[in-house]
Structure 1
């Protein structure tokens, strides 16, 4: 008997339809399970790997992919342990080191020896971890409102997030998004997917201590949300400028932590393309 698609699967497919028609879906074998990657752009272009924030899925980059894919081969990843079409099978996922090993195996499976790497929020934390462990594979590193890199979370943000972490529900996730994003109103289809992602059984986001950005030696771009409630943008900007040997830092006007990367994508795309060029 055929199994009816879940509400999450329906929302996932709805947002997938927002990507360009020529986008490829690749399921890449790794020791930790098969990883779903959304691939768009010229086959011979330099690879750009995009890591989303928690519960966002790789599809969150739908508003950025068309512009980025004009110049780069975009690879947007569903994170291991999070909701999406990436499977968690085989080698157990227990630590940040496992996440780094998974990402290394994923790049091997994609045939990518050296990449531009960009992450948002939790994905930025993972990107820093990976760049520190395998600097020879990261040409340039871009961090979009990174968390647990230059500072911890604001206590007020954690208190607001706590109900949806302890007892996940669509209602709690939507209320949290509405509080953090204010009047920016992120795409409704993505909000629906995000809220459903928080309720998917078996999610296991691996967390760890703060990364050490002072040890990064490749060019690094830090894009911060002006109105982020996860942390204080100007303070993080100052810390990033002091910490990075080869860093560029910019604050995106009007943006909040969870409205990125899909709200006002033109300014994010422009900053990222200028940096990668």
Structure 2
């Protein structure tokens, strides 16, 4: 989030940062803003819950920012967790990437190693949504001793690929110009009649249009052989109306490759509203799974 020294940040970036703070202000409990230094840049972590609670790291989807957990953080904190919602480095948010981009998966995993080190979390529970689910799964394979329990929420590129129809719909979104109106239309189309949180919807749109994000680190799906090495208990929760992939196919593949995992499809939820459409159900499942 660099700024020209004479003119300051561009108005669109200022709008994004103001919208970020407004979305975070909607959280139903006090939030402590932490800055964790890493070799790749400063990482913003929104922390809440008991300081001596079991560390619970939340990894958001692409462009969603760490503010997306507004409907979940209070329930997780009430269950005794130290909730640590991380802004992905290089993605829209308040983390600052000091390089043009991360070099690849090893650097992405090294960044998360450094974040956990900075939080004094020798081991933690991980919850990842969408792209954050892919990162969480990859991290559990990379550092199994540091991941106690792993929850994947409508994760992408973990068990199956994207729907071809989804890729055709999302392609125009990635072509210039990048506008907030284009992002809003995309979210509304993908969510169908499942309402989005208005503050988060606006934040996502402003981040898409005005935040100088780096190209995200991507990679292949884990192989079945890799998945069989997982040692942590795994929960996979899928959105019934997800258009990014076929949720029933993902569920079947997850059950086949992770026979000891808990897998479920949540009704009346879309990919982007899984966290907020029916938070009581999602939070109940998460807290039950995360309780040792």
Same fold? TM cut 0.5: yes
Q: Figure out how many residues of one structure are paired with residues of the other and give that number.
A: 277
Residues 2 and 90 of structure 1: CA distance in aligned 2, closer, same or farther (over 3 Å): closer
Asked whether 1:171 is paired with 2:181, we answer: yes
Alpha carbons 2:66, 2:86 under 8 Å: kept: yes
1-structure distance, mates of 2:286, 2:213: 34
1:258 and 2:258 matched = no
- Measure the CA separation in 1 of the matches of 2:129 and 2:186: 18
Counterpart selection for 1:145 from 149, 154, 165: 154
Indicate the residue corresponding to 2:70 in structure 1.
62
Unaligned runs of 5+ in 1: none
Alignment partner of 2:107 out of 86, 93, 98: 98
TM-score by length of 1: 0.96
- The alpha-carbon distance between structure 1 residues 43 and 130, as it changes in their structure 2 partners (threshold 3 A), is same
Q: Which residue pairs with 2:257 in the alignment?
A: 243
Is 1:52 matched up with 2:60?
yes
Moved more, 13-22 or 75-84: 13-22
Which consecutive segments of 4 or more residues in structure 1 shift more than 3 A? 1-5
Q: CA deviation at 1:91?
A: 9.2
Instruction: Judge conservation of contact 2:100–2:214 (CA < 8 Å) in 1.
Output: no
Structure 2: 5+ residue stretches without partners: 1-5
Structure 1, residues 58-87: CA drift from partner, whole Å, max 9, x if none? 110011001111121000000011000000
The CA distance in 2 between the partners of 1:245 and 1:233, in whole Å, is 17
Q: Pick one of 167, 172, 184 that aligns with 2:194.
A: 184
RMSD: 1.6
| Deviation by residue 1:186-243 (Cα, 9 ceiling, x = unmatched) | 1011000111111212432111111243332211000000010011111111110011
How is 1:15-164 mapped onto 2 (pairs within 5 angstroms)? 15-70=23-78, 71-89=80-98, 93-164=102-173
TM-score w.r.t. the length of structure 2 is: 0.91
